[in-house]
Structure 1
Amino acid sequence: MSFQAYLDTIKQKTGKGPEELQVLADAKGFSEAGRLKPGVKAGQIVDWLKSDFDLGHGHAMAIYALLTGKKKPGD
């Protein structure tokens, strides 16, 4: 599955696109300007997305990759 396919599935499930999730991560204090803050661990992002959006581990890790800058929409 491509990274973009993960993002598409996340949008279908949550109604939120990558940019919206980056804004929400900023509001939660996990990131700043859509980039993960130092010291924030993958488990924190996974727990948040599982709790608030009922995402599975793989899809939550896709958002973590987005927030770290390792992946971007279209990858």
Structure 2
Amino acid sequence: MSFQAYLDNIQAKTGKSPSDFKALAEKMGFTLNGKIKPDVKATQITDWLKAEFDLGHGHAMAVYALLKGKKPD
């Protein structure tokens, strides 16, 4: 599955776009100025995504990769 397919599936499931997740991560304090804060671990972000949006591990990691700067295909 391509990275874009992961993002499309996540948006279909949650109704949230990649830019929505970026804004939410900033609001949650995981990012600052669009960059993941140095003291934030991947597990913190994936645990949040799994709990709040019922994402599986792979889809949560796709959002984490997006927050780390990976661009959609």
TM-score (norm 2): 0.94
Local SS of the residue matching 1:39: coil
Q: Which residue of 1 aligns with 2:30?
A: 30
The total of aligned residue pairs comes to: 73
CA–CA distance in structure 2, aligned partners of residues 6 and 16 of structure 1: 13
Q: Which runs of 5+ in 1 are unaligned?
A: none
1:34 deviation in Å? Answer: 2.6
2:58 maps to 58
SS of the residue corresponding to residue 51 of structure 1 reads helix
Tell me how far 1:38 sits from its aligned partner: 0.9
**C-alpha RMSD over aligned residues:** 0.8
SS at match of 1:38: coil
In the TM superposition, residue 20 of structure 1 has moved relative to its aligned partner by 0.3
Uncovered stretches (5+) of structure 2, i.e. residues with no partner? none
* Identity among equivalent pairs (%): 67
Runs of 4 or more above 4 Å deviation: none
Aligned amino acid, residue 45 of structure 2 = I
1:20 paired to 2:32: no
The question of whether the paired residues in 2 share the 8 Å contact of 1:26 and 1:32 is answered with yes
TM-score normalised to the size of structure 1?
0.92
Shift of 1:11: 0.1
